[in-house]
Structure 1
Amino acid sequence: MLLNHLKLAFRNLTKGKGYAAINLLGLSIGIICCLMLFQYVAREKSYDTFHEKADRLVRLRMDVYEKGRLAQLSATTYPAVGRALKKEFPEVEDYCRLLAAPVLLSNPDRNVKTMETKGYYADASFLNMFTLPFEQGDPRTALDGPNKMILSEDMARKYFGNEDPIGRRLTISGQPTYYPIWKHGQTESFEVTGVFRNYPTNSHLSISYLVSYQTAVDLIRKGGGKDLAETSWGWYDQYTYLQLRPGANPARLQSQLPAFADRHINSSAGNKLQELRNEFYLIPLIDIHLYSHDVEEAEANGDSKTVYFLFLVAILIIVIAWVNYTNLATARSLERSREVGVRKVLGASRGDLIRQFLFESLLMNTLALVLAIALSYGLAPLFNRLTGEQLPTGLHLAGRWLAGFLALFFAGAFLSGLYPAFVLSGYQPVSVLKGLFKNSTKGIWLRKGLIIGQFTASILLIGGTIIVYQQVSYMRNQQLGFNIHQTLVLDGAGSFGDSTYRTVYQSFRNDLLQAGGVKNVTASSEVIGKEILFGANTRRAGVQNESYLMYYLGVDYDFIPAFGLRQLAGRNFSTSFPHDKKAAILNETAVRTLGYASPEEALHQYTRGFVDSLEIIGVVSDYHHQGLQKAIGPQVFILRPDVRDYYSLKLETGDIRGTVDAVKNIWARHFPADPFNYFFLDDFFDRQYKADQEFGKVFGLFALLAIGIACFGLLGLSAYNVVQRTKEIGIRKVLGATVKQLLYILSRDFVTLVLVALVIAAPLTWWLMDNWLRDFAYRIHIAWWVFAVAGALAVLIAILTVVFQSWRTANANPVKNLRTE
């Protein structure tokens, strides 16, 4: 019986080659789109699931409230929090802290020196809590004690080649940043105690090396910071992870954290600012990548809304493909009705016919799946470039995702063939063989409903693509409030001690300005486009109970004029005023936050923050230090003439390549011990929009494919309609109807269906995209014309599809059509 079904299925495929090709192409496109999007979604959902204890690991989030208003969500917390939680709550089995460890790492024996940033100071407990397979060394002791570090396989190969790195030493020059660990020019020798497998990329952490946390503790002690890295409840730059005991109830622990915060922070003797509150929240490890977008995130995380949008697109596209198959199968019902009638006369039961048609559906879908898998090998690189991910090719899905895809595939293959099977098998042989079936309208409303569903999905995707493109264009083309163009940024030099640095830097700066091609040079603690990590609670002098979280940017004398920040009141920092080291310049938002009515009112007032007292000597206009996804925050500029984290060079237009080469040569003369790393500020700033741009490209591509597949379904229904109305067309032509009139008659019903789809799709698109736009601090407002354009495109495509199908029939000889009847 199975062999007979197979023979009949292939016979029907070869008999209707055109329909078979359209079916195969539509299903293949739908399946490959669904498969690739499933792979993308599965990849995004897989982050951090490779840890054996992932279901018991959480990270602490710290929320800062000012006068009951949420001011900040921070991914980092205080060094003392983890230990206190383990001591006070039996649910907490262990804890570990991670502190970013940017270092200038070198092996003089191999003449290798590189600035490394993908590493952390880590408690020894990290190796017990997280899955980090060792290739060499003992994970029980590798991070136990000061001046120890472990390397990834690639890092070990980079610094030691094929030599055994265990027990060898590397020289480290730490980079002084916003936390006081290293001094400029300070170097240490670290022992390599372990080598681990390259850390998986599907993690919210990117780790190439780890340094023992005790190292940071000792370095701070040497610098006079005592036990700041162990006992502080004020310095919050550590990521704190908790390992819960088996069976522990996270909700119960969460309910006790407000009282914990009150005991240690909010009601402590040192916290006299009653308007300021801290709260802690538990974030499951596997949720961090998609659901956490807080201050000081370790890496740029994904977006759960984007993932769910693309998952929805995957389902929509493959459903459109199956609807297309159903409509095409129905369109062939006239052609196959005589086959059904003859087979029934010869004794075939309805069950036999249903099994035959379902088998044909499964065969067609299986062939399409095989073709889709084959095509994925060629299309995967393109999709990877669009998404920025390295996704597998073929049918590579892990565990439940593969099971889910296969379940969806077989369910779709069965259901898409079920309706045609029941319709075709239900024909009465007498009616079919007498030709009475040709005037049947059975199932026409279902077919029209399927077309409406297809175009509803297509219009939704078209409208969504337009809105995403508008939002990205809006962000990229907004006035940022500063001059971003022709700016070359260099990573700062850290090899010189503070006593000699100023002389070397001034010589370096003068040589740059005299070499030509460089208009201005300025230094800062952070570069525009990068999150300012140095925040401090700040208040007006004399006001005791009001404090606000503000972000501090250390700059030299040239920063504000070099970037063209508009001075609203007061003046810039100047060498003519020796006391400017105790002065501050605020942005507009900081002035409003502190309660001043105008920039002029704030001048010569004093603030108290992380330093004792700062006089406000100027106010500058707000500017977007980061992308427009984030609101402008209160910002304080403080004078740091020796700041050296980043150098920003304003270039003349012209020979940019030659200027960069000249800058590199000057750098080598003045800072030979420091690597020359550079980037252009406009490119760096635009990277903040990369994820949204990629989302727009993916959305647009699949919207195009979805409407293409929908056109196949429309082609099938219009073919069915033309065949049904062949006699009517012939009569109308005999009575004088023109081709133009006939095309209008044949297409108006389908245009009506698309318009109905537009009415359904418009509010649905608005709701979905408005929900997506809520994550942006600065956003567009969805205009009515978006839906008009999406609907017009859908109507135009529908008309062209129907006209393509109907043109030949409308131009045919009516005598021939009527004789055929």
Structure 2
Amino acid sequence: MILNYFTIGMRNLLKRKGYTALNILGLAIGIACCLLIFQYVSYERSYDTFQAKSPQIVRLRLDQSKQGKLMWQSATSYPGIGPALKRDYPEVENYCRLIDDELLLSNDAKHIKFSETKGYYADPSAINMLDVQLLSGSAASALKGPNKIIVSQSMAKKYFGTDDVLGKTLLARGTRANETFQIGGVFKDYPSNSHLILDYMVSYATLVSELAGGGDKTDLANTAFNWYDFYTYILLKPGTDAQQFQAKLSGFTDKYINKTDYRKANNIKDRLYTIPFRDIHLLSNYNQEAEVNGSGSAVNFMFLIGFIILAIAWINYINLSTARSVERAKEVGVRKVLGAAKSTLIRLFMFENMLVNFMAIVIAAIAVVTLTPWFNSLMGRESAPDFSMSAKYWLIFSGMFLAGTLLSGLYPAFILSGYQPVAVLKGAFKNTSGGLLLRKSLIVVQFSISVILIAGTIIVYQQVSFMRSQKLGVDINQTLVLNGVQSISDSLYLNSLQPFKADLLKNKGIKSMTVSTSVMGKEIYWTNSYQSLDHKELGSGTLYRLGVDYDFLSQFKIKLLSGRDFSKDFPTDKKAAIINENAMVQLGFKNPDDAIGRKISNGDTMTVIGVIQSFHHLGLQKPIDPQLITLRLDARQAYSIKLQTADLTNTIASVKTTWDKYFPNDPFNYFFLDDQFNTQYKSDQQFGKVFTLFASLAILIACFGLLGLSAYNILQRTKEVGIRKVLGASTKSVVYILSKDFMTLVVISFVISAPISWLVMHNWLQGFAYRINISLWVFAAADIISVAIALCTISFQAIKAALTNPVRSLRSE
């Protein structure tokens, strides 16, 4: 029986090779796209699921408001919070704190040195809470006591050539003193699907010891409630409701933080919120995130597109199968006359449907395996060349595929098996109005989706282009940035910096150089609360501080709206400040001229000497912060060098030679500022590329269906076309008659899809601080494109039918 079904099914599929090819190809593309998208979604949603205790862990977010207005939201919080929570709340099982610790490490015996940026001071509890897999060393003692460090397997091999390094030492060169760290453990390279990149951890006791050595007598690293640079993770006891725990944090902040006279006087309130550990990557996008996180809305959108593409492919199959019902009707009539039962016919047609889907999934599997390395590279996952997907998404896909195969086969099977043999064999049979209505409805659905995808593609492209082309208010082109010096003490630093700068400026390829505590494209962590002494009623507000030398404003062509730049002619500039427009407004000044000469204070009084035009320090996804610029001649975090365009290779080589002369213990690391700044748009650009790719494929699949339907429709009307031509109809009028029904459906799809696409893309744009306005022409363009695509798809068959000699179509009459 199975062999008989197979033979009949293959015979029917080969009878109409064109329709079969369209069906199989459309389904194969749909399945392949769905699998690739599901792989991407599976990976993005797998972040931080490998930690055994991750369901019990939350990270704290700190929000600060002033006079009821939200000022900022930070992924970091105060170091005193963790110990106090564990002490006061029995539902807190443990906590761990992390704070950035960038180090210049060296193994002098092997003459190896690197600047390391992906590590943290960490509580000993971090090892178990974050599931750091130690290959050597004990979790109980690896981070116990000062000057202890644990390193990843890769990092151990980088410095020692082996991972058998327990008890060995690394030298950390610092601005105050050099430190020797003993390696207390080596851990397995931390998985990439984590919101943290962990190359090393330094014991928290080291931070305590360093602060004490600098004069701290209050144990700030354990007690402070005003230093918000610490990631605080809370391990809740099993059975604890995270939402109920969060509700208690309001009382906690009032008890420990908001009660201070300063906060009361300035009407400043802090609030703590929890975010589940596994949600951080996709749902947390606040100040001071450890890494650039993903976008939950983009992932959900792509997940939906995966369903849509597969649905479009099955819609095509249903349309083409039911459209051929007239051709299959006589076959059904004959089979029924010969005694075939309806159930037998249903099984036959379902088997044929399974054949088509089986061929499609085989082709799709080959395509997915072939395209996965390219697709992962497109998504920025070059380290994952092979296709992989979690069991959950395999289950979802399998359920979708089986349900889709069943449903897409059942409807045509019941339609075909239900024909009455007497009507069919008498020639009185024709397509039912219900079947026509279904096919028309499905075409409208397909092209409504197509219009939404086309409009979405245009808007995504516009937004990304807008962000990249928008004037930043600062000139970052042709700027080489050197990572700062770490090996020289503060007392000797200026003695090396000034000769270094003088030597660099002798190079004809270098226009200028400036030093600063941060550069554009990197988040500013240095913040202080300032108030205007002339507007004390406004209280204090957070300003983002940037320390610079005398050449910063001029080199980056930052526009002064009023006042002056820092100058060597004014020794008092050490107590001077330059503010941007946003800070001017926050401090209560009416205009730039009004701010000049005014005093601002955070306990340390400064005089405003200039107001600059606000510029974008970060990408246009984020608002411009109120900024305070102060003179900091000993800034060492970044050296920005403005280059001539000619002979960059030799100029950079010359810079390295000069660097090695003055800073031989520091590695020479550099980047181009415009390239670094544009990396902020990388995820949005990737989303735009992927969205465009799958939108195009969804439209292509819809076109397959439209092509098959139009070709079959024209085949059914061959004699009608012949009669019209004999009666004098022109080719143009025949093409119009054959196309108008389909074009009407495409126009209806536009009316339905335009408001939907506007709503979807409007919500997407809300994630950007600076965004485009959606123009009506976008939807008009989407409609024109969809009409053009449909017309091109249909017209080939229509023109071919219109040009056919009517004698050929009528000779059988």
Q: TM-score when scaled to structure 2?
A: 0.98
| Alignment partner, residue 178 of structure 1 | none
RMSD (Å), alpha carbons:
1.5
d(CA) in 2 for partners of 1:440, 1:124: 74
Q: Count matched residues.
A: 811
Greater mean alpha carbon deviation, residues 96-105 or residues 273-282: 273-282
**Contact between 2:464 and 2:684, CA under 8 Å: does it hold in 1?**
yes
| Alignment partner, residue 377 of structure 1 | 369
| Alignment partner, residue 278 of structure 1 | 270
d(CA) in 2 for partners of 1:149, 1:568: 49
**Contact between 2:54 and 2:277, CA under 8 Å: does it hold in 1?**
yes
Amino acid in the other structure paired with 2:623: A
**Contact between 1:486 and 1:651, CA under 8 Å: does it hold in 2?**
yes
SS in 2 for 1:194: strand
**Contact between 2:564 and 2:609, CA under 8 Å: does it hold in 1?**
yes
- Residue among 435, 442, 454 paired with 1:450: 442
Distance 1:545 1:781, change over 3 A: closer
Q: CA deviation at 1:391?
A: 8.2
d(CA) in 1 for partners of 2:447, 2:385: 30
- Residue among 523, 536, 546 paired with 2:539: 546
Distance 1:440 1:243, change over 3 A: closer
| Alignment partner, residue 62 of structure 1 | 62
Give the percent of matched residue pairs that are identical in Structure 1 and Structure 2: 52
Q: CA deviation at 1:394?
A: 7.4
d(CA) in 2 for partners of 1:704, 1:524: 46
Q: CA deviation at 1:127?
A: 1.5
Amino acid in the other structure paired with 1:52: A
| Alignment partner, residue 198 of structure 2 | 207
- Residue among 550, 554, 565 paired with 1:561: 554
d(CA) in 2 for partners of 1:633, 1:173: 33
SS in 2 for 1:436: coil
SS in 2 for 1:225: coil
1:708 aligned onto 2:703: no
| Alignment partner, residue 720 of structure 1 | 712
The Cα offsets for residues 395-450 of structure 1, whole Å up to 9 and x where unpaired, read as 63212111011101111111111221111111122222222224654500100111
Amino acid in the other structure paired with 1:597: K
| Alignment partner, residue 105 of structure 1 | 105
| Alignment partner, residue 292 of structure 1 | 284
Q: List aligned pairs for 1:160-239, cutoff 5 A.
A: 160-162=160-162, 164-174=164-174, 184=175, 186-226=177-217, 227-239=219-231
- Residue among 658, 667, 674 paired with 2:659: 667
d(CA) in 2 for partners of 1:620, 1:775: 27
**Contact between 1:104 and 1:113, CA under 8 Å: does it hold in 2?**
yes
d(CA) in 2 for partners of 1:11, 1:766: 47
d(CA) in 1 for partners of 2:235, 2:360: 47
d(CA) in 2 for partners of 1:258, 1:418: 57
d(CA) in 2 for partners of 1:396, 1:2: 34
d(CA) in 1 for partners of 2:39, 2:164: 38
d(CA) in 2 for partners of 1:289, 1:157: 29
1:801 aligned onto 2:801: no
d(CA) in 2 for partners of 1:800, 1:163: 63
Q: CA deviation at 1:389?
A: 2.5
Greater mean alpha carbon deviation, residues 418-427 or residues 4-13: 4-13
Distance 1:48 1:215, change over 3 A: same
Q: List aligned pairs for 1:63-82, cutoff 5 A.
A: 63-82=63-82
- Residue among 567, 580, 586 paired with 1:574: 567
Q: CA deviation at 1:331?
A: 2.8
| Alignment partner, residue 466 of structure 2 | 474
| Alignment partner, residue 239 of structure 2 | 247
- Structure 1 unaligned regions, length at least 5: 175-183
Q: CA deviation at 1:373?
A: 1.2
1:516 aligned onto 2:517: no
SS in 1 for 2:521: coil
d(CA) in 1 for partners of 2:54, 2:638: 37
| Alignment partner, residue 630 of structure 2 | 638
Amino acid in the other structure paired with 2:419: Y
1:768 aligned onto 2:760: yes
| Alignment partner, residue 357 of structure 1 | 349
| Alignment partner, residue 595 of structure 2 | 602
**Contact between 2:263 and 2:269, CA under 8 Å: does it hold in 1?**
no
1:590 aligned onto 2:583: yes
**Contact between 1:35 and 1:395, CA under 8 Å: does it hold in 2?**
no
| Alignment partner, residue 141 of structure 2 | 141
Q: CA deviation at 1:529?
A: 1.1
Q: List aligned pairs for 1:528-539, cutoff 5 A.
A: 528-539=520-531
Amino acid in the other structure paired with 1:432: V
| Alignment partner, residue 28 of structure 2 | 28
| Alignment partner, residue 330 of structure 1 | 322
Amino acid in the other structure paired with 1:299: E
Greater mean alpha carbon deviation, residues 257-266 or residues 327-336: 327-336
**Contact between 1:438 and 1:724, CA under 8 Å: does it hold in 2?**
no
The Cα offsets for residues 137-163 of structure 1, whole Å up to 9 and x where unpaired, read as 112211111111111111111111136
| Alignment partner, residue 115 of structure 2 | 115
**Contact between 1:275 and 1:545, CA under 8 Å: does it hold in 2?**
no
| Alignment partner, residue 177 of structure 1 | none
Q: CA deviation at 1:392?
A: 5.8
SS in 2 for 1:150: strand
**Contact between 1:39 and 1:397, CA under 8 Å: does it hold in 2?**
yes
SS in 1 for 2:120: strand
- Residue among 394, 413, 424 paired with 1:402: 394
| Alignment partner, residue 647 of structure 2 | 655
- Structure 2 unaligned regions, length at least 5: none
**Contact between 2:153 and 2:163, CA under 8 Å: does it hold in 1?**
no
The Cα offsets for residues 751-792 of structure 1, whole Å up to 9 and x where unpaired, read as 110101111111001000000001111110000110111111
Q: CA deviation at 1:185?
A: 5.1
**Contact between 1:274 and 1:545, CA under 8 Å: does it hold in 2?**
yes
**Contact between 2:707 and 2:793, CA under 8 Å: does it hold in 1?**
yes
Q: CA deviation at 1:270?
A: 5.5
Q: CA deviation at 1:532?
A: 0.7
| Alignment partner, residue 83 of structure 2 | 83
- Residue among 706, 712, 721 paired with 1:729: 721
Amino acid in the other structure paired with 1:605: R
Amino acid in the other structure paired with 2:560: Q
The Cα offsets for residues 308-335 of structure 1, whole Å up to 9 and x where unpaired, read as 1111111111111111111121232233
Amino acid in the other structure paired with 2:68: G
Amino acid in the other structure paired with 2:507: A
**Contact between 1:580 and 1:639, CA under 8 Å: does it hold in 2?**
yes
SS in 2 for 1:471: helix
**Contact between 1:266 and 1:274, CA under 8 Å: does it hold in 2?**
no
**Contact between 1:586 and 1:635, CA under 8 Å: does it hold in 2?**
yes
Greater mean alpha carbon deviation, residues 525-534 or residues 389-398: 389-398
Q: CA deviation at 1:637?
A: 0.2
Amino acid in the other structure paired with 1:819: R
Q: CA deviation at 1:545?
A: 6.3
Q: CA deviation at 1:819?
A: 2.7
Q: TM-score when scaled to structure 1?
A: 0.97
d(CA) in 2 for partners of 1:814, 1:79: 87
| Alignment partner, residue 92 of structure 1 | 92
**Contact between 1:273 and 1:547, CA under 8 Å: does it hold in 2?**
no
Amino acid in the other structure paired with 1:587: N
Greater mean alpha carbon deviation, residues 292-301 or residues 807-816: 807-816
